[in-house]
């Protein structure tokens, strides 16, 4: 998973009452430590460094961004001071080795216990997993997954309980070898195959030593995306970029019927299908992520059957409860969560003075672009946006927060995403997530405005 994708999930999850496990891994894979890390770097290893420092209580910023700035540098300095090594703020080899060593010791006993139980029973954490394990996941299920991949000869590193790039690569190798969908994600099919294979390989009786079929996954419906007038049967499959087959063909046909897919039906889930899914999700005011999970699948079925009541009911699910109370949309079709999702999708876009497109944004150009995608027309500059909005005492998710920087009055702004965080296009960072408690921004905060 790219750093941009991780940050996007962190942006969206900051507005939810229940945390998403993808945004809070506690350990790092062995990839961290391959190179020294220092201020100014933007790299996946930096994110893993931040997570490792968070696990030790040194990195307290809400989101691990992958950018090595002053907050990360100070966290490294504190770690170095505490452990009596040279305080440089640079995560060099000795610092990283010490950090990784202390992390692994903290969980060694737990990992050993879990590993022991996972090799003798299929009723452990992995078998009980109901969701997907992917880059960013952590916990006992990931520990067991790593143990089983190690047994199968695909994972040759220390078991950490954190699903990072090394685990993802090992899982892809396993999937490739056994003819499974190669996506680096442990879903029902892959987990079932891993559990079935390891159980069979450990059995002592000849009758149980025969390897299972190549894909002993639970029976999957071939009518995952129903046509108009049909009712969906139970389906656990999640469709995303890289998927292919009959279910993707049916998805494309359904989206074409609903007016969101205007290309040739291919049966392959690529960028065009991804955009079509996002278009449909936006039209239904459900979470816009381009992934066809249970919520989107039911919404497609309902729309194909003309059941608007079902579509409406699917717009609210328990895990999508917003922490900060969002303001009610003032315009038809506006959805604050889709606004945040679109903004998060642009994390990593470079800063460009006067920029108004994904090739580069300045602060107000970024905001104007994101609001326009939601059908809301707002002025161009930060000062104009300040003048056009109505003041609020305390920002809610989707409100604009303004700052006084290089000149008197509002000269910089961003979109509030909850938990005292805002997303903006900074001149030195591009589109990123920042805390309003940051000493620089807190001293320059002017107030919040609502433009929707």
Candidates 193, 260, 412, 452; catalytic one: 412
The reply to whether 196 and 293 lie within a common domain is: no
User: How confident is the prediction for the chain on average, in pLDDT?
Assistant: 75
Q: 331 in a domain, yes or no?
A: no
Q: 291 in a domain, yes or no?
A: yes
The reply to whether 349 and 399 lie within a common domain is: yes
Determine which helix (DSSP H) or strand (DSSP E) holds 259, and give its type and residue range: none
Write down the pLDDT at residue 219. 34
Other beta carbons within 10 angstroms of residue 36's beta carbon come to 14
CB 166 within 8 A of CB 189: no
Q: What band does 266 get if pLDDT is binned at 50, 70 and 90? A: confident
Q: What is the 3-state secondary structure (H, E, C) of 111-126?
A: HHHHHHHHCCCCCCCC
SS3 51: helix
Task: Give the residue from 450, 193, 224 showing the smallest Cα distance to 325.
Answer: 450
The reply to whether 181 and 254 lie within a common domain is: no
Candidates 154, 193, 274, 424; catalytic one: 424
Indicate the residue among 152, 178, 208 that finishes a domain.
Answer: 208
Q: 160 in a domain, yes or no?
A: yes
191-204 pLDDT, tens digit each: 888 887 544 443 33
Query: What distance in Å separates the CA atoms of residue 177 and residue 155, rounded to the nearest whole number?
Result: 13
Task: Give the residue from 299, 199, 288, 180 showing the smallest Cα distance to 242.
Answer: 180
Residue 417, domain CATH: 3.90.1720.10
The reply to whether 255 and 127 lie within a common domain is: no
Write down the pLDDT at residue 82. 85
Q: Is the pLDDT of residue 403 over 70?
A: yes
CB 295 within 8 A of CB 337: no
The reply to whether 181 and 78 lie within a common domain is: yes
The reply to whether 25 and 157 lie within a common domain is: yes
Q: 219 in a domain, yes or no?
A: no
Write down the pLDDT at residue 366. 96
The more confidently predicted of residues 120 and 2 is 2
Other beta carbons within 10 angstroms of residue 411's beta carbon come to 19
The reply to whether 281 and 350 lie within a common domain is: no
Distance of CA 177 to CAs 8, 159, 173, 214, Å?
32, 21, 6, 10
> Looking at residues 362-373, what average pLDDT do you find?
94
Write down the pLDDT at residue 294. 86
User: Is residue 363 annotated as part of the catalytic site, yes or no?
Assistant: yes
Q: 223 in a domain, yes or no?
A: no
The reply to whether 252 and 193 lie within a common domain is: no
Determine which helix (DSSP H) or strand (DSSP E) holds 342, and give its type and residue range: helix 336-344
107-157 pLDDT, tens digit each: 444 344 333 333 333 347 788 877 788 887 877 888 888 888 887 788 877
User: Is residue 424 annotated as part of the catalytic site, yes or no?
Assistant: yes
Name the β-bridge partners of 435. 421
Least reliable range by pLDDT among 193-197, 206-210, 351-355: 206-210
Q: 132 in a domain, yes or no?
A: yes
Positive or negative, the CA dihedral 283, 284, 286, 290 is negative
User: Is residue 452 annotated as part of the catalytic site, yes or no?
Assistant: no
233-246 pLDDT, tens digit each: 444 578 887 777 88
Indicate the residue among 178, 208, 238 that finishes a domain.
Answer: 208
The reply to whether 121 and 53 lie within a common domain is: yes
At 314, list the tokens.
């699917």
Is residue 367 exposed (0-12), middle (13-18) or buried (19+ Cβ within 10 Å)?
buried
Candidates 154, 193, 260, 363; catalytic one: 363
> Looking at residues 278-301, what average pLDDT do you find?
85
CB 145 within 8 A of CB 186: yes
Query: What distance in Å separates the CA atoms of residue 260 and residue 375, rounded to the nearest whole number?
Result: 17
Share of the chain above pLDDT 90, in %: 20
Q: Is the pLDDT of residue 79 over 50?
A: yes
Q: 218 in a domain, yes or no?
A: no
Write down the pLDDT at residue 425. 94
Q: Is the pLDDT of residue 5 over 60?
A: no
Q: What is the DSSP letter of 261?
A: -
Residue 144: how many CA atoms within 13 Å on its side-chain side? 24
Q: What band does 33 get if pLDDT is binned at 50, 70 and 90? A: low
Query: What distance in Å separates the CA atoms of residue 5 and residue 15, rounded to the nearest whole number?
Result: 16
Cβ burial 39-50 (10 Å sphere, 16+ → b, else e) = eebbebbbbbbb
CB 339 within 8 A of CB 415: yes
Q: 258 in a domain, yes or no?
A: yes
81-111 pLDDT, tens digit each: 888 888 899 998 888 878 876 554 544 443 4
Q: What band does 416 get if pLDDT is binned at 50, 70 and 90? A: very high
Tell me which residue range forms the domain holding 276.
246-319
The reply to whether 172 and 290 lie within a common domain is: no
Distance of CA 371 to CAs 154, 247, 376, 380, Å?
46, 34, 5, 11
Residue 314, domain CATH: 1.10.101
Report CA 83 to chain centroid distance, whole Å.
Answer: 33
Write down the pLDDT at residue 394. 94
SS3 283: helix
The reply to whether 294 and 374 lie within a common domain is: no
The number of domains in the chain is 3
Residue with tokens 């992390």: 103
290-335 pLDDT, tens digit each: 889 888 988 898 888 776 544 444 444 333 433 333 443 344 457 8
């Amino acid at each position: 998973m790219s750093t941009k994708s991780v940050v996007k999930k962190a942006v969206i999850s900051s507005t939810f009452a229940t945390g998403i496990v993808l945004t809070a891994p506690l350990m790092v894979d062995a990839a961290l430590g391959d190179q020294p890390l220092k201020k100014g770097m933007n790299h996946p290893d930096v994110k893993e460094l931040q997570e490792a420092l968070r696990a030790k209580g040194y990195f307290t910023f809400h989101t691990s961004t992958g950018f090595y700035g002053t907050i990360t540098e100070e966290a490294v300095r504190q770690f170095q001071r505490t452990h009596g090594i040279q305080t440089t703020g640079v995560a060099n080899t000795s610092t990283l080795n010490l950090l990784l060593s202390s992390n692994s010791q903290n969980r060694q006993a737990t990992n050993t216990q879990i590993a022991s139980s996972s090799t003798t029973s299929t009723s452990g954490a992995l078998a009980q997993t109901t969701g997907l394990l992917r880059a960013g996941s952590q916990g006992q299920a990931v520990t067991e997954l790593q143990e089983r991949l190690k047994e199968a000869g695909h994972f040759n590193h220390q078991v950490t309980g954190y699903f990072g790039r090394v685990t993802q690569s090992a899982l892809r190798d396993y999937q490739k070898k056994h003819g499974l969908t190669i996506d680096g994600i442990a879903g029902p099919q892959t987990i079932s195959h891993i559990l079935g294979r390891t159980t069979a390989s450990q059995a002592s009786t000849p009758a149980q030593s025969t390897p299972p079929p190549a894909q002993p996954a639970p029976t999957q419906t071939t009518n995952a995306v129903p046509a108009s007038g049909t009712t969906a049967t139970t389906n656990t499959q999640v469709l995303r970029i890289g998927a292919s087959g009959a279910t993707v063909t049916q998805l494309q046909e359904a989206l074409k019927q609903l007016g969101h897919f205007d290309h040739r039906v291919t049966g392959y889930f690529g960028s065009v299908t991804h955009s079509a899914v996002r278009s449909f999700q936006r039209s239904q005011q459900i979470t816009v992520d381009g992934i066809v999970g249970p919520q989107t699948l039911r919404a497609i079925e309902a729309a194909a059957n003309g059941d608007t009541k079902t579509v409406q009911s699917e717009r609210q699910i328990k895990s999508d409860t917003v922490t900060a109370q969002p303001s009610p949309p003032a315009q038809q079709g506006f959805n604050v969560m889709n606004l945040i999702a679109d903004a998060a999708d642009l994390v990593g876009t470079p800063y460009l003075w006067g920029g108004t497109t994904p090739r580069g944004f300045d602060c107000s150009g970024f905001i104007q672009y994101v609001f326009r995608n939601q059908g809301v027309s707002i002025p161009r500059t930060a000062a104009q946006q300040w003048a056009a909005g109505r003041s609020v005492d305390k920002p809610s998710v989707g409100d604009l927060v303004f700052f006084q920087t290089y000149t008197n009055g509002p000269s910089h702004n961003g979109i509030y995403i909850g938990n005292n965080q805002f997303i903006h296009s900074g001149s030195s960072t591009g589109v990123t997530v920042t805390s309003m408690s940051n000493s620089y921004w807190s001293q320059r905060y002017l107030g919040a405005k609502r433009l929707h």
